[in-house]
Amino acid sequence: MARSPVHCMSFSVLVLPLALAVAYLLAAFPSPPAPITVHQSLASLPQTSRSWTIYPEDFYPGGAYAELPYGKVRYWLMGPEKGRKIVLIHGLSIPAIIWKDVAPALASNKYRVLVYGASFLRRTLETSYSSPAADLYGRGYSDAPQTTYDPTLYTTQLALLMQHIRWDKAIVCGVSMGGGIAAAFTSQFPQLVDENVVLIASAGIMDSGDISRTAKFMSSPLVQTLASSGPVRHYLQRLANSSSSSVTAAMEGAESSNNDSDPPDAATNAPHSASVQAALEIVRLQSAHLPGYNAALSSSLRDGPIRGQHHAFTSKGFEDRRVLLIHGTKDATVHPRYAEGIMDLLPEKTRRKSKVVYVDGAGHDLTLTEPERVGGAMWEWFEGRG
């Protein structure tokens, strides 16, 4: 049955405005992108905070800030300016304090060291290199952009930082997730990497099954939204504040045990125990007081270079390099089997010039607990004796 002109007119009056409105919305030019929200770092905490005692801004000498597109980055340069350059990259949660013994040893041996993070200096080894230190985005004294913490965020951070300090090439050394960053960086910016790459307790090719269900649950967007709410943050802050006194006592007890009357093993292990306690306390304080810290960790766990970097290790960036892998035999975070897994991925010519060193009995934080053995392995490798 044919529709009357009146029906057609009514239909047009009802449908045509809606169709035009939909077409306008689909074709409308978007608004300008909003600036990225950047959360503040440990520098924003009051001077009464325990963080200033454990991990002050001048934790290393030669500290400065670089203004990069995603916020300020704190870094330190140590060692002679003419020394061989090396970059130390920390891992997922602990900032540059994780290099507190390794970085100064390199600097005292005439390396020019770049650290982004923080750590104490101690003189050991003896020859000629230069290294800087800095904190990754979202940790320590570097700002926390509200964005996805994927491999490219971290690699461009390092590339821009090297440009800022006018370095054209350096040895790259990463621990834990820092190893995954080092791999991605070598793959993406091979022209900025020296012949040597050092990977300590390196992530990068972890299976999702090796990440605990608790970590997966806690890193979910829903849980992170709840965790960033006022009541939860207030609870975390109270918890961190209440634990500070017991942690301080434990640290002081470990340090005071390092005296002449102690057995040799106790005197040797006490400073390392205090280092681990200090690092864990910084993690607690960041989690409780820095609004961008937990989100940075969660995104790094889900989107970062902990997993999926197989292509980086097989890339042209790793061709004709010398790769030193150092791994603790008791590492319960990144299983020791991943060291051999990374070795198997390297190009054949590189594999013939590379080496895996296992530190017997060491766990995941071996740069804090076994700095002499880690530093010794690095030193021998750089000098061609490894």
Average pLDDT score, the chain: 82
- Residue 289: pLDDT above 90? no
For 246-260, what is the mean pLDDT? 45
Q: 308: phi > 0 → left, psi -120 to 50 → alpha, else beta; which?
A: left
pLDDT band at 255 (very low <50, low <70, confident <90, very high): very low
CB distance 116 to 136 below 8 Å: yes
Q: Return the pLDDT at 138.
A: 61
CB distance 81 to 110 below 8 Å: no
Q: Return the pLDDT at 101.
A: 94
CB distance 178 to 95 below 8 Å: no
How far is CA 305 from each of CA 30, 179, 183, 353, rounded to the nearest angstrom? 32, 8, 9, 24
User: Which amino acid, one-letter code, is at 383?
Assistant: E
For 103-107, what is the mean pLDDT? 94
CB distance 128 to 106 below 8 Å: no
How is residue 264 written in tokens? 């040799």
Q: Of 213, 131, 221, 137, which Cα lies nearest the Cα of 172?
A: 131
Distance in angstroms between the alpha carbons of the first and the last residue of the chain: 92
pLDDT band at 128 (very low <50, low <70, confident <90, very high): very low
- Residue 4: pLDDT above 70? no
Q: Return the pLDDT at 386.
A: 61
Q: Of 170, 153, 186, which Cα lies nearest the Cα of 83?
A: 170
- Residue 132: pLDDT above 60? no
Q: Return the pLDDT at 122.
A: 28
- Residue 69: pLDDT above 50? yes
pLDDT band at 129 (very low <50, low <70, confident <90, very high): very low
- Residue 354: pLDDT above 60? yes
* % of residues, the chain, pLDDT over 70: 80
Q: Return the pLDDT at 294.
A: 84
pTM of the model: 0.81
pLDDT band at 8 (very low <50, low <70, confident <90, very high): low
Phi first, then psi, for residue 354 (nearest 5°) are -110, 170
CB distance 118 to 76 below 8 Å: yes
For 220-240, what is the mean pLDDT? 76
pLDDT band at 262 (very low <50, low <70, confident <90, very high): very low
CA separation for the pair 136, 151 (Å, rounded): 12
Q: Model confidence over 10-63: pLDDT tens digits?
A: 656 666 777 777 777 677 667 788 888 888 888 888 998 888 888 888 888 889
CB distance 93 to 105 below 8 Å: no
How is residue 96 written in tokens? 């540059």
For 224-250, what is the mean pLDDT? 67
Lowest mean pLDDT among 121-130, 183-192, 287-296, 313-322: 121-130
CA separation for the pair 315, 151 (Å, rounded): 15
pLDDT band at 295 (very low <50, low <70, confident <90, very high): confident
* % of residues, the chain, pLDDT over 90: 47
